[in-house]
Amino acid sequence: MRKKILFLITSLTGGGAERVVCNLSRVLSDKADIDILVNSESKKDYPHGGRVLTLGMDFTKELTWGVQFKALIRRMRMLRKLKKEGGYDACISFMDGSNFANILSGKKYCKVIVSERIMLSQCRTKKYRYFVYPMVKLLYPHADTVAAVSNECALDLRRNFGISADKLTAVYNGVDHDFIKEMAEKEPAVRMDKECFYFLNIGRLLQQKGQWHLIRAFSRVSRTHKNARLMICGSGSDEKYLKKLARECGVEKEVIFAGFCENPYAIASRCDAYVSTSLFEGFSNVLIEAMTCALPIISVDFKSSAREILSPDTSFEHKLKKGLERAEYGLITPQNSGEYREGADPLEESEKALVQAMELMIEDDELRQHYKEKSLERATSLTLETIAQKWLDLLEE
């Protein structure tokens, strides 16, 4: 019998969770009736399937306490009505506010499945410590299923938030290979020099992404590899600091800030290697998408998912402390300090390992080709269709 699913998320504008919802809605539309409840009508950055419903709120990226409280009340009212009258088999929510509203609006009429997208214990702002953490501990045990985006995220929820193992499952993000390949063939939005070697980083310009460590390491690489370039796709609150750092490091011309890119795949397919310096993630969509574009990967050993993606046969609890690891699906370097630095500050040992990995990727053609092939191999194991089926399976449990 055809299922009916309600997805719940703040918006379909920007961000990894938003892209996941859009991708799932497209693939699942062939097997289920899909509705997506968002706060307001807004620009939709990714193609989606199903019907979009709204709470009728004004669109804003500034999610103040007032906005979030108002959204919680409206969501709960709307969800109670939709769950009672909509005939849904499940309501699947993404991100904190949506998850809380999903649980509080009850599970009498359909399954309540919440998706935890990040490693919660790594979020240490006042909002998380004084509001989100207590709410997670109080509410998540009342969901039918808590679907963490990685095994390490699931372990974090069990160890640090008291969620029982029987409530928890891990569902990775999947990749729409056909869509990415189609978009990769289009013209990129930025001009690229075929004579240059491009490292790529995609992500919001926020502390979590640690791009200042990458710029500092790249500045050392560019001293001896004059044709090296660093392409950073994204926007965010760290943009001024990162541009200032690039000037201080003498690589203002070699570091290209491309801003938010609607089609990063056209850029990725023309770059030579991908580098991640995230301090933590939930599950790194962009690593898998870069691998789909046949980019060899360099990544710090961040929590969570770097090791699950690049070295799945090793324990994700093991973290590299020094040096460089030639993992099965990419090069792994130690996690950086996460402390903001200036251009004149000496390189951290972890940044020196990044320099070594980047220079190795430039200089060793055989290694680079090897990891291109391994990237494609790993990406094919995480197709969107395979992951979408896992979500459908949760409805039967």
Show pLDDT as tens, one digit a residue, over the chain (397 residues): 799 999 999 888 877 788 889 989 999 999 999 999 998 877 777 789 999 999 988 766 666 777 788 888 999 999 999 999 999 999 999 999 999 999 999 999 999 999 999 899 988 888 889 999 999 999 999 999 999 999 999 999 999 999 999 999 999 998 888 889 999 999 999 999 999 999 999 999 999 999 999 999 999 999 999 999 999 999 999 999 999 999 999 999 999 999 999 899 999 999 999 999 999 998 998 999 999 999 999 999 999 899 999 999 999 999 999 999 999 999 999 999 999 999 999 999 999 999 999 999 999 999 999 999 999 999 999 989 999 999 999 998 7
CB 180, CB 293: distance < 8 Å: yes
DSSP state of 56: -
The CA-based dihedral angle spanning residues 102, 100, 138, 120, taken in that order and rounded to the nearest 10 degrees: 120
Residue 225, CA distances (Å) to 202, 279, 333, 341, 352 in order = 22, 27, 20, 23, 16
Q: Where are the beta strands (DSSP E) in 238-329?
A: 255-259, 273-276, 297-300, 325-327
Backbone angles phi, psi at 255, to 5 degrees: -100, 120
Which tokens in the block code for residue 252? Answer: 């203002």
Question: Which one is the CATH code of 3-174+383-394: 3.40.50.2000, 3.30.565.10, 3.40.30.10, 3.90.1150.10?
Answer: 3.40.50.2000
Task: Name the segment(s) of the chain with CATH classification 3.40.50.2000.
Answer: 3-174+383-394, 178-379
Question: Which one is the CATH code of 178-379: 3.40.50.1010, 3.50.50.60, 2.60.120.620, 3.40.50.2000?
Answer: 3.40.50.2000
**Which residues in 335-354 are b (16+ Cβ under 10 Å) and which e?**
bbebeebebeeebbebbbbb
CB 276, CB 298: distance < 8 Å: yes
